[in-house]
Amino acid sequence: MGILGYTSCKKYANPPAIYEELKPLTAGQRKILVISIDGLTGTELQTIAPTNIAALQKNAKYSYNTLKTASDAAGWVSMLTGTSFVKHQISTDNFERAAGSGIDEHAPIVSYRNVFDYITQYKSVKTALVTPWANLRNYMKNADFAPAVTTDIAVKDSTVSILNNQAGLGVIFVNFREVEAAGANGGYVASNANYKNAIVKADEYVGNILTALKARKNYPGEDWLVILTSNHGGSSANPTNGFTLVYNPAFKPFELKKSGFNPVLFSTNTSRAVTPDDKGLYDVGDTKSITVQMETKFNSTNINYPTFFSKSTNLSGSSITGWQWGHYGDSWSVTVGGTSNGGSGKLQVNATTAPGTNWHTLTMSINTTVNTQGAATARTLKLYVDGNLEATSDILSRKSLTTSELLRIGHRTGDTDTPTPFYGANLAFFNVALSDAVIKANIGLKDITQHPNYANLIGFWPMDEGTEGTFFNKAPVGYNMSLSGVYSWANLGALYPPGTTPEPITSNLSIPSTVSDVSALALYWMKINILPDFSFDGKPYLKNFELEFLK
C-alpha cells in the first residue's frame, strides 16, 4: 500500500516497500541529482542571476515562483513524499505534526512513503542524502549514504566524493542551508550582502558538483536529471515563494508558470475547502456584523437546493445552525438558523437574479445593531448579485448563528445531496457590514488592497493557485483554506472572473511549480509509474516535453 493509517498520536517510520522484481540500471539509464538551496527566494535568484545556475537555465524548465510551503520541514517532506502540507501536516523541526495545526491530533496518522523508498522498490540503485541538518538525516533513515556533515562546504565535498566513488548511485539529494541562515541577518533580499554572498557561494558549490558529475567514469552512459530548488524562499517562520530549475542537456528552456485562470472545480459530495482552525475568527455569533463575497461560475442551471458555501450544520428539515449558500432552481439562496442556540430554525432568503453559467459576484451581509448592554436589538441579512441589492430579511429571531462547523466551500447536506458543479474565486470576508454603495462601487475590484474597508478584511482567497491543496489567504489577517475530497484544478484560459487581473497567456500549458513536483519528476525520470495509492500532489510535467529528450 502507498499510504498506511495509524491510530495513536506518535510518529512512525515510513512503511516498508513491497518489493517487486528489481530492474537494475544499465548504461544509458536515468539518474537523478536534486540540490535544494534552502531559503533561496525565486525573485532574488532572478535578480542576482549567479553564474552556474544561470548557465543551466538555457537547458531547463524553470520557475522563479515555486509555491511556498509552511516551514523548513514542511518543504522537505513535500519534496520527498510528493504530497502537499495539507496531507502530511508536518511542519516542526523534529518532523512531527505541529500541535494546533488545525487537525484532530487524535485522528489516525497517515504516513507517506519517501521517494527513496519508491525508487529502491523498483530499481537496483544506491541512494544518498547529503545535508548538514541532522533532523533531516534522521527523517530519511533509508538513504544508503548520509554522511554526518555540519557545513555547506562539507556538503559540497561529501557530494563530490560520493559522485566520484559510487558507480551504482541512482539518486542523490543535496541540501545547502547557509543561504537561509545568511538571510536572517539583514533580510532575504539581493540588497543584503550577507544573503547575496551566500547565494553566490552556493552557486559556486553547484558548479563544483556539476563538474564532478560530468567527470564520473560512466557519465557518457548515464542520463542525469538535475533539479535545483529550495524548500521555500525566506525564513522557516515566514516563508515566501522559492524557485525550481529542472535541467538536462536535451531540454529546451521553458518557464514553468500558471497560464490563464486556474480554479478548482467543486463537483462532488466530498470536494471542499475549509479553514481547519480559525480560532473563532469567522464565527458570526449573535452580535457580529459581516460581509462575505465570492465570485462564482456554475456549470449547470435549474438544479434543486444544493449548497456550495457555508459555516453551518447540515440542514435537516427546518433545523440548521449557522448560514449556508445554496442554488435553488437558477437562483441563489441563503439559509440561516440558530436551532442549537435557542433560535428559530430555517429561514431561506432568495435572490431574484438568475446566476446562469457566467461569472457573477455574490455578496451576503449581516448587519447587527447592539445596545449598551451588548445585546443585539436588530439584525438584517442582505443579498446582492453583481453589487445589486436583491433581498433583505430580518433574522433577529434566529438568535446566535454560532457553530463549531468550519468555514467551508463545497457541498454540505441541505435539502438534497446532489452537489452543484461550480468554480469559485476571490472570496472576501469582512468583519463589518458594508454599505450598499461600497459593495456596488467595488464589484470587480482587481486590487483588494485598494478596497476602502481593507482594514476590515479578515480573509481573502483568490482560489487560483492551480495546484496542490491550499487556498492561500492574502488578507492582512486570517487563515489558509485546505482542500480535500475529490476535486480537480481546471484551466479556464482567458475566462477570468471579474476581480482577477487577466495575465498574458503565453502558453497552452499551465504548470504552476511546487516542491512536491520533485518526487513526481524523480519517479517519472526513473520510469516508475506513479500509482493512485501514492497520493501524490506533485506533477510529472516533463511528460509534456518528451519530444525534446525521448530518443
Residue 512, SS3 per DSSP:
coil
Q: Determine the distance from the C-alpha atom of residue 119 to the mean position of all C-alpha atoms in its chain, rounded to a whole number.
A: 25
Residue 209, SS3 per DSSP:
helix
Higher pLDDT among residues 78 and 304, named by residue: 78
Name the pLDDT band for 466 (thresholds 50, 70, 90): very high
Q: How far apart are CA 249 and CA 214, in angstroms?
A: 12
Name the pLDDT band for 21 (thresholds 50, 70, 90): very low
Are 472 and 525 found together in one domain? no
CB neighbourhood size of 397 (10 A): 11
Are 250 and 272 found together in one domain? no
Q: How far apart are CA 460 and CA 501, in angstroms?
A: 15
Decide if 12 is inside a domain.
no
Q: Determine the distance from the C-alpha atom of residue 241 to the mean position of all C-alpha atoms in its chain, rounded to a whole number.
A: 11
Q: What is the CATH number of the domain that holds 481?
A: 2.60.120.200
Residue 529, SS3 per DSSP:
coil
pLDDT for position 329: 73
Are 521 and 482 found together in one domain? no
Q: How far apart are CA 84 and CA 101, in angstroms?
A: 14
Average of per-residue pLDDT values in the chain: 91
Name the pLDDT band for 104 (thresholds 50, 70, 90): very low
Q: How far apart are CA 517 and CA 43, in angstroms?
A: 20
pLDDT in tens, 243-275: 999 999 999 999 999 999 999 999 888 899 999
pLDDT over 50 at 14, yes or no: no
Residue 548, SS3 per DSSP:
helix
In the chain, the percentage of residues whose pLDDT exceeds 90 is 81
Decide if 220 is inside a domain.
yes
Decide if 497 is inside a domain.
no
Are 236 and 183 found together in one domain? yes
Are 436 and 366 found together in one domain? yes
Tell me the pairing of strands 123-124 and 23-24. parallel
Q: How far apart are CA 79 and CA 229, in angstroms?
A: 10
Are 252 and 282 found together in one domain? no
Are 482 and 517 found together in one domain? no
pLDDT in tens, 407-461: 999 988 765 567 778 999 999 999 999 999 999 999 999 999 999 999 999 999 9
Decide if 100 is inside a domain.
yes
Name the pLDDT band for 348 (thresholds 50, 70, 90): very high
pLDDT over 50 at 105, yes or no: no
Q: What is the CATH number of the domain that holds 239?
A: 3.40.720.10
pLDDT for position 421: 86
According to DSSP, the residues that pair with 394 across neighbouring strands are 380
Q: Determine the distance from the C-alpha atom of residue 385 to the mean position of all C-alpha atoms in its chain, rounded to a whole number.
A: 30
Name the pLDDT band for 302 (thresholds 50, 70, 90): low
DSSP output for 51-118: HHHHHHGGGEEEEEEEPP-SSHHHHHHHHHHS--HHHH-B-STTSSBPTTSSS-TTSPEEEEPPHHHH
Residue 463, SS3 per DSSP:
coil
CB neighbourhood size of 477 (10 A): 10
Decide if 112 is inside a domain.
yes
Are 302 and 387 found together in one domain? yes
Q: CA of 15: how far to CAs of 81, 96, 370, in Å?
A: 12, 16, 57
E strand residue ranges, 125-165:
126-130
Average pLDDT over residues 402-406: 95
DSSP designation for 406: P
Q: How many domains is the chain built from?
A: 2
C-alpha cell at 94: 523534529
Decide if 7 is inside a domain.
no
Are 60 and 138 found together in one domain? yes
Decide if 93 is inside a domain.
yes
Alpha helices in 325-476 (DSSP H): 436-441
Q: How far apart are CA 451 and CA 443, in angstroms?
A: 10
Q: How far apart are CA 225 and CA 246, in angstroms?
A: 7
Q: Which of 49-53, 500-504, 515-519 has the lowest mean pLDDT?
A: 500-504
pLDDT in tens, 214-223: 999 999 999 9
pLDDT for position 10: 35
Q: How far apart are CA 156 and CA 154, in angstroms?
A: 5
- Look up the domain containing 40 and give its range: 18-257+511-549
pLDDT for position 417: 62
pLDDT over 70 at 402, yes or no: yes
pLDDT for position 428: 98
pLDDT for position 357: 87
Average pLDDT over residues 286-309: 87
pLDDT for position 12: 34
Q: Quickly tell me which residue has 523498483 as its cell.
A: 122
Q: Report the b/e string of 287-322 with b at 16+ CB within 10 A.
A: ebbbbbbbbbbbeeeebebbbbbbbbbbbeeeebbb
Residue 471, SS3 per DSSP:
strand
Average pLDDT over residues 363-380: 96
Name the pLDDT band for 108 (thresholds 50, 70, 90): low
Decide if 107 is inside a domain.
yes
Q: How far apart are CA 187 and CA 194, in angstroms?
A: 9
E strand residue ranges, 282-404:
290-298, 303-312, 321-329, 331-338, 347-350, 360-370, 376-385, 388-394
Name the pLDDT band for 503 (thresholds 50, 70, 90): confident
pLDDT over 70 at 481, yes or no: yes
pLDDT for position 56: 98
Confidence (pTM): 0.87
Are 463 and 527 found together in one domain? no
Q: Determine the distance from the C-alpha atom of residue 343 to the mean position of all C-alpha atoms in its chain, rounded to a whole number.
A: 38
Q: How far apart are CA 429 and CA 134, in angstroms?
A: 42
Are 304 and 160 found together in one domain? no
Are 434 and 540 found together in one domain? no
C-alpha cell at 192: 543584503
| Nearest CA-CA partner of 422 in 354, 326, 352, 324 | 326
pLDDT over 90 at 319, yes or no: yes
CA atoms within 13 A on the CB side of 455: 1
Question: Cα-atom radius of gyration of the chain, to the nearest Å?
Answer: 26
pLDDT for position 139: 97
Residue 282 Ramachandran class (φ > 0 left, ψ -120 to 50 alpha, else beta): alpha
pLDDT in tens, 136-162: 999 999 999 999 999 999 999 999 999
